[in-house]
Amino acid sequence: MSLRALPLSVLLVSAFGLLPSLVSAALPRMIPDEAAKVKMRFSPAGLVQIGDRALRLSPGAQIRDPANRIVLPAYVRGEHTVRVLLDNNGQVHRVWILTPQEAAAPLPGR
């Protein structure tokens, strides 16, 4: 079946269905400037390791993968370069797992 045989409405729906994914792939992530760049090792039981410090995840902790999707802490394993924000209690509150390009880029304002 050629593209000419498909109705125009099917082609338009297909094209517009791809549009959100193309737009989101082109937009940079909004990571706050104050988020520190660190190597973080994830482990079970809601703990993460930064250097020699073990930190607990906050009750509302949010982890975003390199595609900017929110992921559950139980699904993240190993060591990653991340940007991280701590809450007022010193617990890990927001984490962005960086892509290789984001990890290689300098921090904003530095």
Residue with tokens 């079970």: 44
8 confidence band (pLDDT: 50, 70, 90): low
Cβ–Cβ < 8 Å for 75, 87? no
Average pLDDT, the chain: 85
What is the bridge-based pairing of β-strands 70-71 and 92-97?
A: unpaired
Q: Is the pLDDT of residue 26 over 90?
A: no
Buried b (16+ CB within 10 A) or exposed e, 49-86: ebeeeebebbeebebbeeebeeeebeebeeebbbbbbe
CA-based nearest residue to 76, from 90, 92, 53: 92
Task: Enter the pTM of the model.
Answer: 0.75
pLDDT tens-digit readout, 65-100: 999 999 999 899 999 999 999 999 999 999 999 999
